[in-house]
Chains A and B, each alone.
Chain A
Amino acid sequence: MTSTATRPDPTPEAAPDTKTPLALGDRIFRVLAVGSGGLIMVALAGVFIFLAIEGYPGLSVDEDFYRPATSFLGYAGPLLFGTVLAAIIALVIAVPFAIGIALFISHYAPRRLAVPVAYLIDLLAAVPSVVFGLWGGRELAQHIGGISVWLEENLGFIPLFAGPAAKSGNTMLTAAVVLAIMILPITTAICREVFAQTPRLHEEAALALGATRWEMIRTSVFPYARSGMVSAVMLGLGRALGETMAVAMILSASPVVTLNIISGSSPATIASNIASNYKEASPDGQAVLIATGLVLFAFTFGVNFLARYLAGRGERRMAR
């Protein structure tokens, strides 16, 4: 459909790579393209710089802004703890499902089912986080509330379920379940990709040696996909760390450090804390919130950086 565009130009123009005056359009276009690439880098650096400029005063404002703590560390500590706790619980829930679904799409599902299933999972990623928050806070929370009561009665000896269980279900557990659903698509998508890249010959060799399908997956797919799976998990972690609205709408937060995930008082996450306190914040309060945002950015940047690095290393190893 494009071959018509390749007809020779009547005026003789410069060859693509020579720098004659006639290649002016070429130079402009090149500058535009390089400029766009540069702009992206500048924007990323800008995120760091502007957050640092606006957040720096937040490290040392009046003690009142850090209540109930008295310093920035005391204020940000519980938030960071809550962020990591929610993200890790979400990962624990989501990763087995993600691997299962990815295997389902790449190796188990009949071919005609695999494509629509992959599409449905992607659809899950398209649901806006505010809708997840609404659904989690009003619908899922009631059900989790009932489960929490049961967990407290039967598994109360585990610190996670120490209770007292909040019947409303506006707890860390509900938030983590919703986070798990939200990170499922990205983790699944990447696992699926690496599973599908397993060399066909490895798989067939395993099967020819008499392996069952599961043994084939264990001995040829998983070893091949290990680094990809690690980076998928890390990317999921990055998403879970930064997710804002779902947590802000579900969690009834209080600045405590506790492992207890079914009681009515759990630590907020950095992101949800920013979202829920932004309205009433004074300029100093804003600075404090921006400073916590910088902490969150640095943290997620590190996690994503590591994830991509691991994935890249895995790819190079495969290429050899």
Chain B
Amino acid sequence: MTALDTRPAETRLSKPRLPQWAPLLVVAVAVALGLLAWMVGANIALAVLVAVAAYLVGMPAWSAAVESRRAAVDRLATGLVWSAFLVAMVPLVWLIVTVVKNGASTVDMNFLTFSMRGVIGDEQGGLYHALIGTLLITGLAALISVPVGILAAVYLVEYGAKSRMARVLTFLVDVMTGIPSIVAGLFALSLFVLIFGPAVRLGFGGSVALSLLMIPTVVRSTEEMLRLVPDDLREASYALGVPKWRTILKVVIPTCVGGIVTGVVLAISRVIGETAPLLVVAGFTSSVNMNPFDGRMMTLPVFIYTEYTDSTAKGLSYAWGGALVLIVIVMALNIIARIIGKIFAPKTGR
């Protein structure tokens, strides 16, 4: 298994192979080339590109020379797969670094506790009103979608089984996950315009739109969790004479409650950053509105958007500040979901 095999070719049983450290060596050379390009004056993106290209050319070439054409193709594929992964990490890191860098100087206590009411010119404003709006609207959306989503999943797993309605419902839920968010917003708007007449804007409309986006996620994750519950538990409960609904409430759901909660939290983290539907139905305002059933309501994503379209230096810095707050909220929710998932992970044999 080493390149330093000096026996004559006809006595070897296997083709020569590159040593194990060969890819590392080529990576080192490629990185060195990239650094060189960077020092010569290329920008970072170009330098990375040079390094990747150097590896993708160098490794297969070396392999083709020593090993075989097939091995070279294999090495090329390995290189491509690794670079696909590395390149995909670039935007994530870049985005987070940019948001933190640009947002950090804006976010302070005043920014978090002031609204934009009557703020003119360089006066200090903030996103308090947007924060309140986001919490209220998302909270209401969760209040609607969690019971509906969980009950629908219970229907799919416990009652529907293989019935026609269950199959149609599964399919529709799948299709529903692909509804564009702006369409959900237009739906909520049409609904409330029909009820209250044109030019209606209210926070609750935003909740309805978000529920439409959230329900399919809740159904899917809950369904998956319910299916993980072993049938033995259900049968043991039935055998003791416990009715089905109590079995579901006291045995099935408690067994997988961790997974369900994780799914719900992740669903919330998905919709909390939705902008388009809220822009359309909840509108925007610069003051605090505590009543989601009356009047326009600002939310965090819409705040970012309006400050961005304002396109003054101050507006932009507020937009970055808002983006930082929003990202922190979303990431926190994601981490909470992970932790809940870990704590309540079903203790199966594995």
A21 CB within 8 Å of chain B: no
B 301-330 binary contact with A (CB < 8 Å = 1; else 0): 100110011000000100110010011001
Closest to B239 in A: A6
A5 with B152: CB separation less than 8 A:
no
B327 with A131: CB separation less than 8 A:
yes
A108 to B82, alpha carbons, bound, how many Å? 8
A143 to B43, alpha carbons, bound, how many Å? 11
B85 CB within 8 Å of chain A: yes
Given A53-B194, A130-B275, A215-B74, A283-B243 contact (CB < 8 Å): no
B154 CB within 8 Å of chain A: yes
Among A61-69, A151-159, A233-241, A254-262, the stretch that binds chain B is A233-241
* Minimum Cβ distance to chain B for residue A294 (Å): 8
The B-contacting residues of A in range 1-42, CB under 8 angstroms, are 1-2, 5-9, 12-17, 22-23, 25-26, 28-30, 32-37, 39-41
B39 CB within 8 Å of chain A: no
B336 CB within 8 Å of chain A: no
Residues of B contacting A249 with CB < 8 Å? 305, 308-309
Residues of A contacting B305 with CB < 8 Å? 130, 133, 245, 249
B186 with A26: CB separation less than 8 A:
no
Among A43-51, A74-82, A160-168, the stretch that binds chain B is A43-51
A125 to B271, alpha carbons, bound, how many Å? 11
B182 with A275: CB separation less than 8 A:
yes
- From A130, A132, A212, A307, name the one whose CB has the most chain B CB atoms within 10 angstroms: A130
B151 with A290: CB separation less than 8 A:
no
Residues of B contacting A53 with CB < 8 Å? 190, 194
* Minimum Cβ distance to chain B for residue A190 (Å): 11
A100 to B248, alpha carbons, bound, how many Å? 42
B41 CB within 8 Å of chain A: no
* Minimum Cβ distance to chain A for residue B50 (Å): 15
A278 with B81: CB separation less than 8 A:
no
Closest to A290 in B: B186
B273 with A131: CB separation less than 8 A:
yes
Among B19-27, B109-117, B173-181, the stretch that binds chain A is B173-181
Residues of B contacting A34 with CB < 8 Å? 155, 159, 165
B199 with A33: CB separation less than 8 A:
no
A133 to B309, alpha carbons, bound, how many Å? 11
B 63-88 binary contact with A (CB < 8 Å = 1; else 0): 00000001101101110111111011
A92 CB within 8 Å of chain B: no
A304 CB within 8 Å of chain B: yes
Residues of A contacting B73 with CB < 8 Å? 212, 214-215
> 26 A-B Cβ contacts within 8 A?
A2-B250, A6-B250, A16-B244, A33-B151, A34-B155, A40-B216, A40-B219, A97-B88, A104-B85, A108-B78, A120-B92, A125-B270, A126-B331, A127-B92, A128-B272, A128-B274, A128-B275, A131-B304, A135-B95, A135-B99, A215-B73, A245-B275, A283-B199, A303-B178, A304-B175, A304-B178
Top 9 A-B pairs, shortest CB-CB distance: A242-B180, A128-B273, A100-B84, A29-B245, A36-B151, A304-B178, A33-B155, A212-B74, A5-B250
